[in-house]
Amino acid sequence: MSESPLIIAIDGPAASGKSTVAKRVAAALGIVFVNSGAMYRAFTWWVLQNGIDPHDTDAVLDLLARTEFTCGEEDGIGTIAVGGVPMTRDELAATNVNAAVSPIAAIPEVRERLVAEQRRYASARGVAMEGRDIGSVVFPETPYKFYIDASPEVREARRRAEGIDDSIAKRDRIDSSRKASPLVIPDDAVVVDSSDLSADEVVETVLAAIRGRLGE
């Protein structure tokens, strides 16, 4: 019997440092880094590109039913194409996408579709996947769950330093209070507060916990 692929679930609020950590943990373990937020962002970009109001749920769902997602990999990093259009970093981080992504991600049917894509992707290869509901909803059975946190001040400052215009507090509120799969800390997650830690220190903490469990 073949072993099932390794799944590392890394959740946390916006700008908590979870992407950096997930990317480096994936590289250290030789598995693929997947940014699930990029999938919600890609679909949001597609909604805007099609001239649809992100709050017009019927129109958004009509588009969803007609939309193909293609999840691939390049040098250990997951890629996403929507409607056949490969997404670039700039498109995914655009200000209009930042503003519309949380309402789009709150629609249950959008989540169902993207969660199915995430599970299919991880059934074929090991992943370190980061997002909001990866440990709580997408892969509740994985023993490797992490929640990376940081204070709101530190997170706002990180986004400013990146030159990205993002209303973190507003997205936090929508992401944590929505009905469908809100941001929560899974009961069995290892919680790391990255406010006063370097990226190296967070990565080491996460890798040590994974190695500890792999060796059990």
Q: Of 8, 36, 100, 146, which one interacts with ligand DC (CB under 6 A)?
A: 36
Q: Could you give phi then psi for residue 8, rounded to 5 degrees? A: -110, 120
Q: Which stretch binds ligand DC (CB under 6 A): 69-77, 81-89, 127-135, 187-195?
A: 127-135
Residue 87, interface with ligand DC (CB under 6 A)? no
Residue 136, interface with ligand DC (CB under 6 A)? no
Q: Which is nearer to ligand DC, 131 or 186 (CB)?
A: 131
> What radius of gyration, in Å, describes the C-alpha atoms of the chain?
17
Residue 145, interface with ligand DC (CB under 6 A)? no
Quote the CA–CA distance of 216 and 213 in Å, as a whole number.
Answer: 5
Assess contact for 131 and 80: CB atoms under 8 A: no
Quote the CA–CA distance of 82 and 214 in Å, as a whole number.
Answer: 35
Identify which of 5, 43, 125, 38 has the alpha carbon closest to the alpha carbon of residue 76.
125
Range 11-30, binding ligand DC (CB under 6 A): 14
Residue 40, interface with ligand DC (CB under 6 A)? yes
Q: Of 131, 142, 186, 190, which one interacts with ligand DC (CB under 6 A)?
A: 131
Q: Nearest distance from residue 201's CB to ligand DC, in Å?
A: 21
- Token readout for 60 is 């958004």
Q: Of 7, 31, 105, 192, which one interacts with ligand DC (CB under 6 A)?
A: 105
Q: Which residues pair with 70 in a beta bridge?
A: 81
Quote the CA–CA distance of 121 and 109 in Å, as a whole number.
Answer: 19
Residue 37, interface with ligand DC (CB under 6 A)? yes
Residue 186, interface with ligand DC (CB under 6 A)? no
Which amino acid is located at 1 in the chain? M
Binding residues for ligand DC (CB under 6 A): 14, 36-37, 40-41, 101-102, 105, 131-134, 171, 175
